[in-house]
Amino acid sequence: MSSSLSHGSSSPLDAHGWDSGWAAAFAPYADRGLVPGRVVRVDRGQCDVATDAGTVRADTAFVTPHDPLRVVCTGDWAAVDPEGAGDPRYVRACLPRRTAFARSTSSKRSEGQILAANVDHAVIAVSLAVELDLGRIERFLALAWESGSQPIVVLTKADLVPDPVGLSYLVEDVETVAPGVQVLPLSSTTGEGLDVLSAVVAGGTTVLLGVSGAGKSTLANALVGEDVMSVRAARDVDGKGRHTTTTRNLFVLPGGGVLIDTPGLRGVGLWDAEAGVGQVFSEIEELARDCRFHDCAHEAEPGCAVAAAIEDGTLPVRRLESFRKLMRENQRLVAKTDARLRGEIRRDWKRTMAAGRAAVEFKRNGRLR
């Protein structure tokens, strides 16, 4: 199919983000008779893949690596079997990702979890129905910056704050923890801010993130222009939802671009996100350049520019404490991950050595002991 090799002619995949770069990366797979497609949903070892011929169901057994960050994910561009290759059809490979949104899991194995691939914008939905959690917003922002995508914070349910002055104060509070990030109050009920967000997400792939009850499914329906996601009311007591979204789904937007909706995240664990944390707390990193010592811990060292900013009130204490907390968490995770990888390497080496000894024993005695 010509659209898989060049971008000169129109293709149904164009609406999913297909371009000349993806076509060039796919060329070796086209030579093998495979067809390109974008993964729009993954569940139970299978996935739905949008191709030029329509959406097909494919098995992911051939691309299930040990690394959970390399499994097939919503947003991936895949090389799948052509029509008539058999039932089931298989995903034979995924193209290298341009960006990847990952977090750490709650498991004791310190593993990462891939949430979405090839994302240009990360919309962080924050409900105004409950008190703002600035620390959680900082976590989402760190993961978004680390992924390589451009974050935007959307304050949903803005109609619940009818006072314009009060709403402006809430926006300012979020802007203080989101340097370089657009903060947009939005109401899916009244339509406030929806046109602005639609214009932002029209140029690429957007992932929609947030905790349960943040209004993500309602927002997804508003952006897509139809009820593609089920919606259940959040509890009045705490504003929490009930995980109406259970899988990650990719939708083509009527104004251009695509949207990946995700389940509500209970935990927002960092995953090797030191650069992302630095981006979120860019003002602290800028101050640190003026510290007397290059390895200043910003505790009690003389000539600490960060401590001086705390003293004169230009840097809130909460920001420095949050920065330290996220950096410590990230460092612990990296250390645990390195230890786990070293352990896996040792176990693989021991298995290889055991297999080698067994092979030698078999050659010698014609049997295994």
Dump pLDDT digits (tens) for 215-248: 888 999 999 987 665 554 444 444 444 444 457 8
pLDDT of residue 340: 57
pLDDT of residue 342: 53
Return the closest-CA partner of residue 256 out of 218, 216, 199, 217: 199
**Alpha carbon distance 154, 1 (integer Å):** 40
pLDDT of residue 3: 43
Alpha carbon of residue 354 to chain centroid: 40
pLDDT of residue 244: 47
pLDDT of residue 185: 97
359's CB contacts (< 8 A; 6+ apart) are none
- Enumerate residue ranges in the chain where pLDDT < 70: 1-9, 105-111, 227-246, 264-273, 336-369
User: What's the pTM?
Assistant: 0.80
Q: What backbone torsions phi and psi does residue 105 show, to the nearest 5 degrees?
A: -85, 170
Are the CB atoms for 259 and 220 separated by under 8 Å?
yes
pLDDT of residue 281: 93
pLDDT of residue 107: 47
pLDDT of residue 236: 43
Return the closest-CA partner of residue 58 out of 43, 71, 69, 68: 43
